[in-house]
Amino acid sequence: MMKWSKRGKHRLLRGTEGATVVEFAIIVPVLLLILWGIVDFGNVYYQLSIVNEAAREGARVAGVGGTLQSVTTAVKNFNNSLQVNMSPSTPVSGQNVTVTVTNSVQIITPLISVFFPSNPFTVTGKSIMRVE
């Protein structure tokens, strides 16, 4: 039976350590791109959820006879940077009122921002309710 010396075993391992470092150096940028892409898309989805909920709340306030000022206040309670549009600007009982809320989301990953037509990316939420 042949015995391996410690010295010979160490020589075998030394050759593979360099390959592992090179493979790791190649994979790390790809993994970071995937990670930051997940963060960016998660942020866009979160902002989309905020504008939809804010539009729903604004339409609810307008539906019970609220003014443009009260709708704007209700929407700004979610996030102060939201832009509000209400149509018609003076709600009439028995008709529909539409509240549109927009917000800009900054895409921070350089390669991911190539897929979006504009950076910052604009998300829009819209809600329609009947005025009581």
Considering the domain boundaries, does residue 2 fall inside one? no
Domain that holds residue 31: 7-130
Residue type, 94: G
**Is the CA virtual torsion 96, 86, 64, 82 positive or negative?**
positive
Considering the domain boundaries, does residue 44 fall inside one? yes
Considering the domain boundaries, does residue 1 fall inside one? no
Average pLDDT over residues 37-42: 91
The total number of structural domains in the chain stands at 1
Considering the domain boundaries, does residue 82 fall inside one? yes
Mean pLDDT for all residues in the chain: 87
Three-class SS state of 44: helix
pLDDT tens figures, 95-129 = 999 999 999 998 888 777 777 778 888 999 999 99
